[in-house]
Amino acid sequence: MGRSADQHRAARRELFDVFPRTPTPDDSIRFQRLLAREILQSEAEYALEKTESLKEHLRAVRVYGDALAHTLLSRYAIRQLSRNPGNHPDLLGQGKAFQLAMDCAEALAGQRIPPLLADLTNVVRNGDLIACVDPNLPVMLECKLSKVKDVRFERQGRRGRQLSRLESIGALLRDGRGRVHGESTDRYTVEVTCVPRYSYAIVDEIVASALQRRPSMVTPSPNELYAATMVGEVVDSTSGVLQLWAEQNDLVAIGSSLDPLQSGTWDIPPPVLWDIGREAQWALMERDVAVSHAIGVGALVGLTRDNVRVTSVIKLPGELPWGYEVLVDDEAVTVSANVVLDVVYCHRTVESAGEMLLELAERVVTLMLRDA
């Protein structure tokens, strides 16, 4: 008979309590042993009874693997390592293959190299094992029990696709330019130097209020709104204000702290890594409390630094249906609105996001002129 929901929550609490926020290679492998043990046990339970609660538990457990990834790698590197539409295979189904990957991870840790097992995460979807030798330039390793009998067939089938994807991602990380296997256009890396600032004090305050059954809303500026409630509580005033606030702004981006936790595939650092109190971290990791965060997209229009100015919001195709036109001297460039996602989900301050947008546009123009 499987464990109860309370026992699963207790297992997640153990992971929370021992999670290494500044891990050494030994800390990394020690935590991943615990993580692997919990995943294997939960997968065995799921094989006997495929319930939605067990599926959610497995996803929530792997969020701690995502958090470990964020301590060892940059968000930029994680974003590249997530470029694979496939799902992770079950650890149980891998049998000796996963044990081989674990043994290789142990060997890396013994050489003082932080290891990261991709299948213990939701977000890392390339390679079996990541050697985190550099936060921006990790080494992706495939651990195979058997070798190809004839090297002529090395590039065929699933193994060939894996190899091509790893090589293309590695080239992009190394060279700052390249085409990921399966994509039709080249990608460029643009490095920015501005240091991000966050609104974690606001998050900490409203989560504490929600835990005391006092839903709260904060408007740090006319273009930004925060709200927090206990999950499952119906709070008409909160939803009503959010709707009214959205109607008063032309274009609004709204997100919830639940979004990345429920999908488990975003490169958003999990709340266990946020600079907030432990009680607030746990409440957000467990989805006991939801933080809604909204920003008027036009809040960045008009920002200026030296010869760079954000002139307008423009419509774009794709998942984010808008972007920004930025004027650098006399050169107009279009920049995606990804910085808005940093505000909504990572709680970067609007001012800090604006600084990044301006610097990014300037660097893009420099890159364009260099390659012209």
For 199-247, write each residue's pLDDT tens digit.
Answer: 999 999 999 999 999 988 888 888 889 999 998 775 554 555 566 556 6
* Interstrand relation of 139-141 and 308-315 (parallel, antiparallel or unpaired): unpaired
Q: Which pLDDT tens digit goes with each residue over 110-154?
A: 999 999 999 999 999 888 999 999 999 999 898 887 665 545 445
Considering the entire predicted model, what is its pTM?
0.88
Q: Which residue, 218, 372, 360, is CA-closest to 295?
A: 218
E strand or H helix at 305, and its extent?
A: strand 304-305
Distance CA 239, CA 246 (A): 11
Distance CA 167, CA 140 (A): 9
**142-151: long-range pairs with CB below 8 Å, 24+:** 142/166, 143/97, 143/100, 143/101, 143/104, 144/97, 144/100, 145/96, 145/97, 145/100
Distance CA 141, CA 114 (A): 13
The pLDDT assigned to 80 comes to 85
Distance CA 353, CA 221 (A): 14
**Which tokens go with 112?**
């003082």
Three-state secondary structure call for residue 181 = coil
- Check if the beta carbon of residue 109 is closer than 8 Å to that of residue 25: yes
Positive or negative torsion for Cα 268, 80, 340, 266: negative
**Which tokens go with 250?**
């032309």
DSSP letters spanning 250-301: SSEEEEETHHHHHH--S-PPPGGGSSS-HHHHHHHHTTSEEEEEEEEGGGGT
Domain ranges for the chain, please list them.
5-145, 200-296, 304-371
Lowest-confidence range among 194-198, 212-216, 246-250? 246-250
If one counts every other C-beta atom within 10 angstroms of the C-beta of residue 152, the result is: 8
E strand or H helix at 327, and its extent?
A: strand 322-328
Distance CA 32, CA 106 (A): 10
**Which tokens go with 307?**
């010869």
- Residue 291's Cβ-count burial label (10 Å; 0-12, 13-18, 19+) is buried
**Which tokens go with 104?**
């290789």
**Which tokens go with 224?**
């930004």
DSSP letters spanning 137-157: S-EEE---SS--SSGGGTTSH
pLDDT of residue 167 exceeding 70, the answer is: no
E strand or H helix at 47, and its extent?
A: helix 25-48
The pLDDT assigned to 22 comes to 94
Lay out the sheet containing 331-336: strands in order across: 304-305, 308-315, 322-328, 331-336
**Nearest-5° angle of CA 273, CA 275, CA 279?**
80
The pLDDT assigned to 153 comes to 45
- Check if the beta carbon of residue 241 is closer than 8 Å to that of residue 219: no
Lowest-confidence range among 120-124, 149-153, 181-185, 349-353? 149-153
Q: Which pLDDT tens digit goes with each residue over 66-120?
A: 999 999 999 989 988 887 766 777 899 898 999 999 999 999 999 999 999 999 9
